[in-house]
Amino acid sequence: MNILVVEDDKKMNKLIKDYLLQEEYKVFSAYDGEEALTIFDEENIDLVILDVMIPKLDGFSVCRRLRNKSDVLIVIVSARSEEDDKLMGFEYGADEYVVKPFSPKVLLARVNALIKRVFRNKDKDIISKGIITIETNKLKVTVSKEAITLTAREYDLLLELVNNEGYVYSRDKLINLIWEYDYFGDGRIVDTNIKMLRKKLKEASKYIITVVGKGYKFEVTE
């Protein structure tokens, strides 16, 4: 597992790197946005830990560029703790958002949990619902045989809904299941991810149904 740490504070970058090395990850370091994109293009990166306030190209811009060309796992770390900042991070494609200051041990736990969550379904069978096919052994989703790229959060959200077709999930229930860690805020984070998921599913977006006053459910309607 190759991890890229993008953090301009050299001491913090090294501290995060040292914790990751203890878990036997291979770690690359970048100190600005342009360097991060260069390393990403040159190396086979599986996960990016990305600070927002970095020189040359800010973290949100880097996140957006990475997501436009890859489904790499992205963990944003930032001192910007406002709800809108977090939503912006997820809209740009982040899989996790960690607010500074944080304990490196907590960051490591979140990285490990994200990796475990993404790969936990690799041995299950292929799931087909309507025009959607999920190959869990490859973490691959297709709509009408056309592959689509999802973030880890979007993938988890879709898989949860598909595996429990017809069940109505409240926003709080989805936050507890998909985000796992305590999340303080309203249900807009769920709405944002549902919106992005529907957009990517295109004609299959009709399978994700809004139940007014209750939440969301997945149901094949054809």
pLDDT bin (cut points 50, 70, 90) of residue 182 is: very low
**112 and 27 part of one domain:** yes
**139 and 207 part of one domain:** yes
Roughly how many angstroms between the first and final C-alpha of the chain, as a whole number? 41
**Residue after which a domain boundary falls, among 102, 119, 136:** 119
**92 and 134 part of one domain:** no
Distance from C-alpha of 78 to C-alpha of 57, rounded to nearest angstrom: 15
User: Average pLDDT in the 97-126 region?
Assistant: 79
At 164, the amino acid letter reads N
**103 and 49 part of one domain:** yes
- Structural domain of residue 50, as residue ranges? 2-119
pLDDT bin (cut points 50, 70, 90) of residue 183 is: low
User: Average pLDDT in the 215-220 region?
Assistant: 94
**Residue after which a domain boundary falls, among 84, 100, 119:** 119
**41 and 91 part of one domain:** yes
**Which pair of tokens denotes residue 164?**
């429990």
* Number of domains making up the chain: 2
**86 and 102 part of one domain:** yes
**132 and 115 part of one domain:** no
Tell me: the pLDDT tens digits for 117-161? 776 655 557 888 999 999 887 788 999 999 999 988 899 999 999
Q: Which of 104, 116, 99, 114 is nearest to 20 (CA)?
A: 104
**135 and 210 part of one domain:** yes
- Per-residue DSSP letters for the chain? -EEEEE-S-HHHHHHHHHHHHHTT-EEEEESSHHHHHHHHHHS--SEEEEESS-SSS-HHHHHHHHHHH---EEEEEES--SHHHHHHHHHTT-SEEEESS--HHHHHHHHHHHHHHHHTTTTSPPEEETTEEEETTTTEEEETTEEE---HHHHHHHHHHHHTTTPPBPHHHHIIIII-S---S-THHHHHHHHHHHHHHGGGGGGEEEETTTEEEE----
**98 and 12 part of one domain:** yes
Report pTM.
Answer: 0.64
The reported pLDDT for the residue numbered 175 is: 86
CATH number of the domain encompassing residue 180: 1.10.10.10
Q: Please identify which residue in the block is written with the tokens 């096919």.
A: 133
